[in-house]
Structure 1
Amino acid sequence: MWPGCGGRFYWAPAPPSGARGVVVVFAWVWSDEAQLRPFVELYASLGWRCLVCHPDLVSLYLSEKAATLACGVISELAKELKVKPLPTVFASFSGGSKGCMYKVIQLLDGRCEGDAMMKDYRLVRNCISGQVYDSGPVDFVSDVGTQFLQNPVIGTSSQPSMLRSLMAKALASGMDTLFPSRIEAQRAEYWHTLYSSAGLGSVLIFCSEGDDLAPCHVVCGFARRLVELGTDVKVIKWSDSPHIGTPSFYLQCLVLLDRITEY
Structure 2
Amino acid sequence: MHITFIGGGNMATAIIAGLVKTGQCQISVVEPDADKREQLAQRFRVTALAQLPVYFGGGQVVVLAVKPQQLREVCDSLAGRLDGALVLSIAAGVGVPALSRWLDGHDRIVRVMPNTPAMIGKGVSGLFARPVVDAQDRASAEQIMSAAGSTVWLSEESGIDDITAISGSGPAYVFYFLESLIESARQLGFDPATARELALSTFEGAVALARHSGEDIATLRANVTSKGGTTEQAIASFEASGLKSAILRGAKACRARSIELGEQLSQD
Using structure 1 for the length normalisation, give the TM-score.
0.27
Relative contact order, higher structure (CA 8 A, sep 6+): 1
Using structure 2 for the length normalisation, give the TM-score.
0.26
Q: Flag the structure with larger Rg.
A: 2
